[in-house]
Amino acid sequence: MLKVRFSLLLIMILTSLLAKSQDDRGSFYINGYLKNTPSQTVYLINFRNKNIVDSAKVSSTEGLIMLSGSASEERSYYLRFSKKGGILVLAIAPKDSLVLYHDLDNYWETSIKGAVAAKEFLNFNLAANEQGKRLRKIESKIDSMENIGANEDDINVEKNALKLMNIAFHKQNKELAYKTPSPVTASFILANFIIRNELDDLEDLLKHLESKFSRSSYLPETISTIKSKIKASNTINDFSAVTYAPEINALDLKGQPFNLKSLRGKYVLIEFWASWCKPCRAEFPILVKTYNEYKDRNFTILGVSLDSGKEDWIEAIKTDNLTWIHVSDLKGWKSAAAQVYKVNAIPQNFLIDPEGKIIAMNLRGDGLKKKLKEIFK
């Protein structure tokens, strides 16, 4: 059976190469073998505008797919699986003809051949995943030591190890950003810096990337967003002169009107996010843990989504187990709340006190937990 599958895959590749020689120079092709897949539909979607580029039926017996599209430059796309598999993000350039092997039972059992951008992007994601696992292992150890009242010096040793590991990973990722030939990979590295709140020394790198990828319309847009995020992290922007958080009026998951004022008397984290925002969703495991720890101590979260599709919004909430309050007007970046709060990049959040005053902004990683520890000590 395995020989038959690879024979079929070879035929698919040869067919796409023949079509490629006759097609426009911007065409790209994906030939894939999906392991442990049910019979389902696989969609190829543009990461930025969420348009469906192509789709294909895959059977549980063969697991083979063929997808194609066209692009004027390297961009990010993702595969979405209708029944099982979540999403798989890819970097694809014009003329690419890539061969994909992906195990739906193990997201990280993935390999790509035949495309430089796609392989570069995949290698970064695999490395970032390993980095994340190593960091979480130490963070978990620190939490356990604090919970049992371990010796403070021993805890500080682990905290210092965590700090040194973060420094090493930041250096490693920054070097990759300088060297990578892929603007998509560079863009996601910058997003990773945001997730880990590593914003202090990026000015030279941003200038380098702007020069290196000056012909790319993809990365300059990302750099502009990153610059806005850096600016936002260093100041409360126009809210420095505003005592109270502006009101938010939107519909909740049941379609009922909801307003921020109804939460007066609690500490509230207003979290701006979207189902399509990878950095947002990467933050959620930490945010869920912090929420569960403090939800019974006069603290809650109000999630404000910048989605435009209700199904994607609801599915992300269920998938990521986000049990706090959620609202959205489903207007994307035209969200009324986002405009009032001057949100031009996500993830972004505001912490307000029981009187409705903004007391902190952009609390990422363990930043929120540290702030809540100060409040509820």
The per-residue pLDDT for 106 is 87
Question: Is the pLDDT confidence value at 164 over 70?
Answer: yes
Side-chain-side CA neighbours of 211 within 13 Å: the count stands at 8
Rounded mean pLDDT of 189-207? 80
Q: What is the pLDDT of residue 100?
A: 93
At residue 309, the pLDDT reads 86
Count of other CB atoms within 10 angstroms of residue 245: 22
**In the predicted structure, residue 20 carries a pLDDT above the cut 80:** no
Q: For 272, list phi and psi in degrees, rounded to 5.
A: -90, 130
- The residue that leads in pLDDT, 182 or 86, is 182
What is the structure's pLDDT at 17?
Answer: 43
Report whether pLDDT(322) > 60. yes
Q: What is the pLDDT of residue 79?
A: 93
Residue 329 scores a pLDDT above 80 = yes
pLDDT for 192 equals 80
Residue 224, CA distances (Å) to 75, 228, 269, 341 in order: 17, 6, 26, 18
The residue-averaged pLDDT of 42-58 equals 93
What integer best gives the mean pLDDT of the chain? 84
Bridge partners (DSSP) listed for residue 302: 270, 325
Q: Say if residue 4's pLDDT is above 50.
A: no
Better-predicted residue by pLDDT, 171 or 17: 171
Q: What is the pLDDT, as a whole number, of residue 234? A: 55
Please report the pLDDT score of residue 25 as a whole number: 56
Is residue 16 pLDDT above 50, yes or no?
no
pLDDT reported for residue 121: 92
Instruction: Provide the pLDDT confidence category of residue 7 given band limits of 50, 70 and 90.
Output: very low
Distances in Å between the Cα of 342 and the Cα atoms of 132, 210, 335, 347, 363 are 31, 25, 10, 13, 17
How do residues 201-241 score in pLDDT, each as one tens digit? 788 899 999 999 998 888 887 787 777 766 665 544 445 44
pLDDT-based confidence at 26, cuts 50/70/90?
Answer: confident
Q: In what order do the strands lie in the sheet with 64-70?
A: 64-70, 27-35, 97-103, 106-113
71-88 mean pLDDT = 89
Rounded distance, CA 289 to CA 273, Å?
17
Q: What is the pLDDT of residue 147?
A: 87
Q: How far is CA 255 from CA 51, 308, 315, 340, in A?
A: 26, 14, 16, 21
